[in-house]
Structure 1
Amino acid sequence: MGPTEINGLPAHVLLVHVVVILVPLAAMLVVLSAVWPAARRRLGVITPLVALVALVSVPLTTHAGEWLEARVPSNELVRRHAELGDTLLPWAAGLFVAAAASWVLARRSAATGTETAPARTATGPGRTVLVAVLAVLSLVVAAGSVVQVYRIGDSGAQAVWHGSFSRTPLPGDGPAR
């Protein structure tokens, strides 16, 4: 399904950086596009494209993580990280749907001329409700996805580093003077 090793390293430890950067970036762009008509117009297709790459990166990273999980000693921290990792895909999908909806809204508005001035963001009660619902859903999905990225990353760091380092410098391992 995707790479499991990159240049001799487990792909998961490299791909995770794509997720950690792109999911919060997509969340920020989705919120901006949903609540700020000028941003929605200016960002255009960038928001759904970033959200799409973030969405695609999640299963690639998860697949590489499952490959790695089978090759490290299993413990509760590793299992917890793997379980949490499986929860991000729906959030990333939600980001993409919100991004695409915002982009479609901007395209339709541009085609009908309803967003020619910042003060004219809606032409009727139906459109106002649609914009409001999109904004609320975008905020929820963005917040949820960022919280999940944090929780997954924290659990991964705990799994890797818990009990793996000394709280005091080891003799002879300090910086060269």
Structure 2
Amino acid sequence: MNWQFGGIPLHPLFVHLTSVAVPVAALAAIAVAVWPAARRWLGVGGPIIGLVALVSVPLATSSGEWLEHREKETALLERHTELADGMLPWSIAVFALLVLWWGWHRFGAGRQKRTGVVRVISIIGPVLLVAVAVVSIVQVVVIGHAGAEAVWKG
């Protein structure tokens, strides 16, 4: 695919989408994990935000690979692309956990008796959501910093 519009590469556009959508999805995940009012307020919005973030990652990486083949290869650019390849699993995890957490509270948690399984899920769910969200935010910052170095120092 030709990842340009009017002769301008689309990678910066998709990178900006990703650098906003991923942290917003991560913050939504943290909010619904630790704050029941946010879970009620966001509802299905959390998983939708997670889906936008998830879709933005392959757009950014694919357009970045296209752009990489047209640029001079440097160590900084190589580091950026290697780091970027690791973002998709974290975005999948944030999205999947947001969907599961929403589904659990929408269809399961209120209808279940307070058994050991329900208690375990109510402890592990938020811990996983927060952990994956924090890692995804850190990953976006590290990737973005490496990309900025590749552009401005390379």
Answer 1 or 2: which has greater helix percent.
2
Q: Which residue of 1 aligns with 2:25?
A: 26
Instruction: Pick from 131, 135, 139 the counterpart of residue 130 of structure 2.
Output: 139
Task: Provide the TM-score with structure 2 as the length reference.
Answer: 0.93
Task: Determine if contact 2:11/2:67 at 8 Å carries over to the other structure.
Answer: yes
Number of aligned positions between the proteins: 154
Given the alignment of the two structures, is residue 16 of structure 1 paired with residue 47 of structure 2, yes or no?
no
1:80 aligns with 2:79: yes
| Whole-Å separation in 2 of the counterparts to 1:73 and 1:51 | 34
1:154-165 residue pairs with structure 2 within 5 A?
154-162=145-153
CA deviations over 1:83-120 (Å, ceiling 9, x no partner):
001000000000001110111022125863x8xxxxxx
Distance 1:68 1:101, change over 3 A: same
When structure 1 is superposed on structure 2, of 56-65 and 36-45 the one drifting more is 36-45
Matches within 5 A, 1:1-177: 4-108=3-107, 112=111, 123-162=114-153
Per the TM alignment, residue 9 of structure 1 is displaced from its structure 2 partner at its CA by 1.4
Q: CA RMSD in A?
A: 1.8
How far has the Cα of 1:131 moved from its partner? 1.4
Deviations 1:99-155 (A, max 9, x none): 10111022125863x8xxxxxxx8343212101101111111001100100110000
- Structure 1 unaligned runs (5+)? 115-121, 164-177
Larger radius of gyration: 1
Per-residue CA deviation, residues 33-64 of structure 1 (Å, 9 max, x unaligned), is: 11222211221110000101110110111000
Residues 109 and 118 in structure 2, CA contact (< 8 A), matched pair in contact too: no
When normalised by structure 1's length, the TM-score is: 0.81
Counterparts in 2 of 1:11 and 1:53: CA distance versus 1, 3 Å: same
**Conservation of the 8 A alpha-carbon contact between 1:55 and 1:92:** yes
Q: Distance in 2 between matches of 1:7 and 1:41?
A: 43
Partner Cα separation in structure 1 for residue 28 and residue 74 of structure 2: 37
- Runs of at least 5 residues in structure 2 that lack an aligned partner in the other structure: none
Secondary structure of the corresponding residue to residue 93 of structure 2:
helix
Decide whether the 8 Å contact of 1:44 with 1:106 is kept in 2: no
SS in 2 for 1:38: helix
